[in-house]
Structure 1
Amino acid sequence: MKRWAPYPFVRIVLSFIAGIAVYLYTGKEFRYSPELFAFFVALYLVLYLVSRRMKSVEANTLAGIAGLLCFAAGGMWVTHQHTESHQANHLGRLPSSPAYYMGTVNDYVVQKPGYQSTVLQVEQVQVNGQWQSATGKVQLSVPHDSNREYELGYGDRLLVKGAPLPVAPPSNPNQFDYRAFLENKQIHHRHFLQAHQYQKLDTDPSNPVLYFSIYLRRQLDALLKASVDERREYGISSALILGVKDELDNSIRDAYAQTGTMHVLAVSGLHVGLIYGILALLLASFKKTARQRTVYATVILGVLWLYAFITGLSPSVLRAAFMFSLITVAVVSRRQHNIYNTLSIAAFALLWYNPYFLLEVSFQLSFLALLGIVYLQPRFYRLLTFDNRLLDKGWALFTASLAAQLATFPLGLYYFHQFPVYFWLANLLVVPAATFVLYSGVAALFFSWVPLLNTVLFKIHFAITWCMNEFNLLVNQLPQAVINGIDISVSQTWLLYTLLLLFILFFAYKELRYFAAATAVVAVLAVQEIREMSEQRVQRSLVVYNLRNATAFSFLQGRQATVVSNQALALQNYTFNIQPYLWHKGVPQASVYTLVDTPPSGISHALLPDSNSLYVWQGKRMLVVSKPIKIQPMPDFEVDYLLLTQNVRIKPAELQPFWFKHLVLDASNAPWYLQRLKPQLAEAGIGYYDITEQGALVVEL
């Protein structure tokens, strides 16, 4: 085994990450992290003094362990300090809801169809007629129906009428937890505003640097939009160069995701690395004297941070710019730098700044991909040698893509539930193409003031972007281009990384014990898979989903499912609300029908004379009422689930002739309808299940 001595910062950052993880995954309620940190610091000082006196390996080891525990406790303390919900005047701790609140826009404004979204840092609230200071972040959504490009901007101070609402939990089983996603950004409330509910007071940006960075990015984005004619190519260009994804076409976004090349559209370490690489190549011979090295570092650092500035100082770019800055400083100081220590220093500094970065998918994937490229790529590259320069560069690119994909493979399965089969082919051409898109786009923007040259550069930029898009669409149309529906747990993700590490150790040290341990991990994964498949063969469930303005329910048996809805489901509705649960249950693709269709065998369906529907499945009866009831049930006819939908005109008295176990109000009903009906049901003594408030109804049989 390699000794740990050359990697001090690796030990430190791993301990720091362990402290952050312990705090985050124990409920964020541990209030004694400062005391714990002080205890371990005192313990370390005592053990350090003892080790200096005893001068033994054991004493030094104990002092070293205590030092690492200091960093772990420090990680807990820093995370506690960054958890805004613990503050006494936080929005979530107010005694009653505010009538008004004031705050400052402190994030980018994101364009959405028909509205714009941003984050407001709350400063004051009016509670019971009195203004008082408050803290907290609110995700604001404001209508965008004017001729202005942006309704709001960074630094705008707003007066808002009404109270923000806590972010709702997922309303359907296994749905993406948007509440947890926002909580990691310290956002606990949302407010969907009408135009008359807010007023702009003035503009007072808390960070002038970020304010001018966002302003410059908007100006450059407007220049791109005016110079790149096609919307599809403009969306890719803006996303790849500036990180603005507002105009990104959904079909092309899906194509990039399913070919494993989505990373080129997220301005991140790849883009900073490309800029660093071309600068390092151009200035390679400019490091002979101390003065030349100073110019070398100044140029590289200046360009890297200028690029970070024009891309809006996004966290992913800041991470990469900081890391390459450390590498540049090490190069010009002629000190031997260890890339693992450099990565660790960058990770430690970023997590100290905001420990919640650890939970960001981009943070996890970027560092894992870099580790994969640093360690695995040189070993893959040495497997084959080519005399041809072009083949050699292609092989280097292929091995880098393979290393990054392998390092992020388990995490990609866990988060995205898919595996792009032709990632190696797509990255082989898309990454070089993206390189030229970036270089040509930056050059076109830089020379936009030169009359003829800017036209030529934008034409070249457009042509390369168009070719890259067409190639991605072509790869996406290949047979079995992507394997969807992969659902793994957190424990299985850790097991896959353990397996990967054991194989790396086996090939590095040629010791059989690592292969034996890898075999044991494979056995555990196989047992888990066999057990899961056995459970899925006998599973049965009925789910009524929470889909706004729509009725949808599913019958699931084994690894097959039938989804029924009142209308043809939009792809987005199905993908985000229904598909995650089916994938979790092992159903790769469900059969989809509407209420007027005849479902497959195994499900009995009767369209009643009053146009309502009766379903019988697995001994359960469900009556779906979307029209006024005009029939009388047969004596002793019992319904398990009576589903009221689409604002059906009905009175509780009309339900009395029906024998039903559960009355369900689904999300196709409007708020005004539910507000009127529910008191009537309560007065009649009829219990109900409101999908809009309680989430999807899941019945496991």
Structure 2
Amino acid sequence: MLRWAPYPIVRVTLSFILGVLLYLLIGRQEGIGPGLLAFFFALFILAAILAKKYRTAFAYDVAGILALLTFAILGFVITQQRTEIYQPNHLAHLSAAPAFYIGVVDDYVLQKPGYQSTVLEVTQVQVNGAWQKASGKVQLSVPHDSEAKYELKYGDVLLVKGAPQEVTPPLNPNQFDYRNYLANKGIHYRHYLQSFQYQKLGHEPNNLILSYSIQLRRNLDEVLRERIGEKREYMIASALILGVKDELDNSIRQAYADTGTMHVLAVSGLHVGLIYTLLMVVLARMNSTARQRWLGAILVLAVLWLYAFITGLSPSVLRAVLMFSLVTIGLALRRRTVIYNTVAFAAGALLFYNPYNLLEVGFQLSFLAVLGIVYLQPRLYKLLEVDNWLLDFVWAYFTVSVAAQLATLPLGLYYFHQFPMYFWLANIVVVPLATLVLYSGVVALLFSWVPVVSNWLFDLHLVLTYLMNDFNLWVQRWPQALVNGIDITLLQAVLLYALLLAFILFLAIKKLRYLSIAVGLVAILVVQEITEAQRQQRQKQLVVYSVRGSTGVGLVQGQQAVLLADSALRHNKSNYTFNVQPHLWQLGVQQANIVSFVDAAPGTAPLVTLPDSNQLLVWQGKRWLILSRPPKLHPKAGFEVDYLLLRQNIRVWPEQLQAYKAGKVILDASNATWYRKRLHQQLDTLGISYFDVADSGAFVVEF
């Protein structure tokens, strides 16, 4: 039987989360939150007084239920208050587009090739010639072509010319929703600036502590850059120790993602846990008196928060530092703390500060991994007794890795659509190496001012980083190292967690009803997969994808697909991965057969190159004329096409297009903005129906 009594903080946090989810599901309900909160709080006070008077189990249960409902309404109200877009002076409610606006840089400045990106907290706008107060966040991108390391820094006050643009929704089916991602951070606008469009007015950081923290992290990053000779190892060291991933190469990211060790490159709970473990070992003897315990606790807290400070006070580190700080205080008090309450308190505190943390992938995965390690790892570890200390160490790391992977598996499949097959082996080797890399790097930074010692320490750090990276690259090349293309819905992810929970309850409580529930959930998932596979076998689609500066036309039949692509798309893997691949995975297509528009081999695609170098595509009874060069062939009488695709800023008069009697003209994203806007006006004047994939998203035809 489940006992809730030892877990009061867990109950409170779950109730608060329920309120947050309720607000996110039903949307804006202005005015009802505070009233409901006052009502339920008054009911709880009344029920608590009656329970204290009558001292019956029923009275205590009613008071407890009302308390949890009060916390749920509190979650609703806090989320409502933290949703900035509904404030009257937000950018979304301006009467007209601003000509200028003033704001403060309120986030880390990310360095990218040729530009830098950050977030501006808007304070004032100029509308119709008058300045007024305003609120809202704008994601800024500014060119970076000077010798200065950073064009901007946290706390800079900027005057910006022009109006920010709303973040556009995803333009292709099943594409990553960057607009929703930014909205969860309170960012609804973007602005790509030229150097003449902004001017620095001063420096007034919103948070002085964060400002000093970011500056210290930059200084330490410069030390690593100077003292580590190899660029690849510097990038890994900076990401692992300080959390600076601006220059981290995509191939390195992919290698660590493919082996299931990406977490070592994101400063998070793992790194804080490693530092905490080392401190506990060093201070193990300081435990005999209360004074020693508190002295040790103060040292641990100081080191943990100092590490958070030098890593820029990133949210992932703050989560872990808060959790370990609570554990440290509990140990100093000699209280038997329940780890689940500690985890729940940390989660509740972070959600109270910002309820939208609940939607952060890192927040979800980190807490699930901790819960998996806390509950599953000891039980997995007990399955096998190992006498040899080295094998026991390996077995312990193996069970930690498996526990964390099991706890995060459904969400990992839902978000990343892949599963690293050798995660267990990679983590057994990489995590200990990452531990040594972290320790050696921190010590090297501490002694960077000592001439000879610092050279030895940085050399050791370089060797360890090199070994860790090369091992990952080696494992990545193993056969079947990564299973990708796994596409599950949110409902299926929830069902997988319900299945995992049912198995855990069956093993813990030994009740057959939980096994029956697990079997029922497996049956539901199997039926869903069979139904989905049958639907995919019957599907037929033609898709003109929206890929900036490129042309991509997908022909999907069953679980096979041909992608007609120009050279720009074929030679840019990231464009394919980001814009096209998620949709194909959703349709059950693992990999499309990519065919060139220009030199398609016979039989690879139903595409014919005409004498004027344009193409005619005939598929599923529909004719597509694809024009990329001025047409020199005049259609015969009665010749009609269903669709006319214009690409690469083709020079053609709209009147010429009328001769083809096309049902619809399609403008793809290889056309420039000025060209599309001009053609819009001309086509509207002639009454020709058209579809612009750069503005409206991918054009999908179902057969």
Relative to the length of structure 2, the TM-score reads: 0.99
- 1:352 is aligned to 352
Taking a change above 3 Å as real, the CA distance of residues 308 and 270 of structure 1, as seen in their structure-2 partners, is same
Matches within 5 A, 1:248-259: 248-259=248-259
Q: CA deviation at 1:569?
A: 4.0
- 1:432 is aligned to 432
Contact 1:602 1:617 in 2 (8 A): no
Matches within 5 A, 1:69-108: 69-108=69-108
Q: CA deviation at 1:603?
A: 4.1
Matched to 1:652, the amino acid is P
**Partner-residue secondary structure (3-state), 2:649:** coil
- 2:635 is aligned to 633
Unaligned runs of 5+ residues in structure 2 are none
Matches within 5 A, 1:120-131: 120-131=120-131
**Partner-residue secondary structure (3-state), 1:139:** strand
Matches within 5 A, 1:523-672: 523-567=523-567, 568-598=570-600, 601=603, 603-672=605-674
Q: Which moved more, 1:589-598 or 1:624-633?
A: 589-598
Contact 2:595 2:605 in 1 (8 A): no
Matched to 1:684, the amino acid is L
- 2:304 is aligned to 304
Matched to 1:138, the amino acid is V
**Partner-residue secondary structure (3-state), 2:237:** helix
Matched to 2:576, the amino acid is Y
| Cα displacement string for residues 399-425 of structure 1 (whole angstroms, at most 9, x for unaligned residues) | 001100000000000000000000000
Matches within 5 A, 1:129-144: 129-144=129-144
**Partner-residue secondary structure (3-state), 1:442:** helix
**Partner-residue secondary structure (3-state), 1:686:** coil
Aligned mates of 1:540, 1:227 — CA distance in 2: 57
- 1:679 is aligned to 681
Aligned mates of 1:73, 1:29 — CA distance in 2: 12
- 1:392 is aligned to 392
Aligned mates of 1:141, 1:509 — CA distance in 2: 55
* 1:146 matches 2:152: no
Contact 1:259 1:482 in 2 (8 A): yes
**Partner-residue secondary structure (3-state), 1:639:** coil
- 1:275 is aligned to 275
- 2:405 is aligned to 405
Aligned mates of 1:228, 1:242 — CA distance in 2: 14
Contact 1:646 1:669 in 2 (8 A): yes
Matched to 1:655, the amino acid is L
Q: Which moved more, 1:51-60 or 1:71-80?
A: 51-60
Aligned mates of 1:613, 1:19 — CA distance in 2: 56
Matched to 1:190, the amino acid is R
Matched to 2:172, the amino acid is N
Taking a change above 3 Å as real, the CA distance of residues 602 and 550 of structure 1, as seen in their structure-2 partners, is closer
Matched to 1:340, the amino acid is Y
- 1:382 is aligned to 382
Root mean square deviation of aligned Cα? 1.1
Matches within 5 A, 1:66-215: 66-215=66-215
**Partner-residue secondary structure (3-state), 1:586:** coil
**Partner-residue secondary structure (3-state), 2:464:** helix
Contact 2:663 2:689 in 1 (8 A): no
Aligned mates of 1:540, 1:42 — CA distance in 2: 59
Contact 2:19 2:74 in 1 (8 A): yes
Taking a change above 3 Å as real, the CA distance of residues 600 and 332 of structure 1, as seen in their structure-2 partners, is farther
Matched to 1:322, the amino acid is L
- 2:697 is aligned to 695
* 1:493 matches 2:504: no
Q: CA deviation at 1:428?
A: 0.5
- 1:18 is aligned to 18
- 1:325 is aligned to 325
Q: Which moved more, 1:210-219 or 1:225-234?
A: 225-234
Q: CA deviation at 1:347?
A: 0.7
| Cα displacement string for residues 136-184 of structure 1 (whole angstroms, at most 9, x for unaligned residues) | 0000000011111000000000000000000000011110000000000
Q: CA deviation at 1:59?
A: 2.4
Contact 1:603 1:616 in 2 (8 A): no
**Partner-residue secondary structure (3-state), 1:125:** strand
Q: CA deviation at 1:672?
A: 1.2
Q: Which moved more, 1:483-492 or 1:648-657?
A: 648-657
Aligned mates of 1:2, 1:523 — CA distance in 2: 26
Contact 2:402 2:424 in 1 (8 A): yes
**Partner-residue secondary structure (3-state), 1:220:** helix
Aligned mates of 2:602, 2:190 — CA distance in 1: 42
Taking a change above 3 Å as real, the CA distance of residues 600 and 471 of structure 1, as seen in their structure-2 partners, is farther
Unaligned runs of 5+ residues in structure 1 are none
Q: Which moved more, 1:36-45 or 1:119-128?
A: 36-45
Aligned mates of 1:599, 1:164 — CA distance in 2: 46
* 1:5 matches 2:22: no
Q: How many percent identity over aligned positions?
A: 59
Aligned mates of 1:419, 1:599 — CA distance in 2: 34
Matched to 2:621, the amino acid is G
Matched to 2:612, the amino acid is D
Aligned mates of 2:433, 2:230 — CA distance in 1: 18
**Partner-residue secondary structure (3-state), 2:157:** strand
Contact 2:255 2:472 in 1 (8 A): yes
Matched to 1:574, the amino acid is Y
- 2:507 is aligned to 507
Q: CA deviation at 1:542?
A: 0.8
Q: CA deviation at 1:30?
A: 5.0
**Partner-residue secondary structure (3-state), 1:48:** helix
**Partner-residue secondary structure (3-state), 1:352:** helix
Aligned mates of 2:29, 2:388 — CA distance in 1: 60
Contact 1:506 1:512 in 2 (8 A): yes
Contact 2:144 2:151 in 1 (8 A): yes
Q: CA deviation at 1:291?
A: 1.7
Q: CA deviation at 1:635?
A: 2.1
Relative to the length of structure 1, the TM-score reads: 0.99
**Partner-residue secondary structure (3-state), 2:97:** coil
Q: CA deviation at 1:15?
A: 0.5
Q: CA deviation at 1:599?
A: 5.9
Contact 2:595 2:604 in 1 (8 A): no
Aligned mates of 1:608, 1:164 — CA distance in 2: 44
Q: Which moved more, 1:21-30 or 1:437-446?
A: 21-30
Contact 1:599 1:605 in 2 (8 A): no
**Partner-residue secondary structure (3-state), 1:95:** coil
| Cα displacement string for residues 622-668 of structure 1 (whole angstroms, at most 9, x for unaligned residues) | 11100001111122222111011110001011112112111011111
Q: Which moved more, 1:127-136 or 1:560-569?
A: 560-569
Q: Which moved more, 1:559-568 or 1:523-532?
A: 559-568
Matched to 1:619, the amino acid is G
Matched to 1:105, the amino acid is V
**Partner-residue secondary structure (3-state), 2:135:** coil
- 1:42 is aligned to 42
Q: CA deviation at 1:358?
A: 0.4
- 1:51 is aligned to 51
Contact 2:319 2:346 in 1 (8 A): yes
**Partner-residue secondary structure (3-state), 1:23:** helix
Aligned mates of 1:602, 1:159 — CA distance in 2: 55
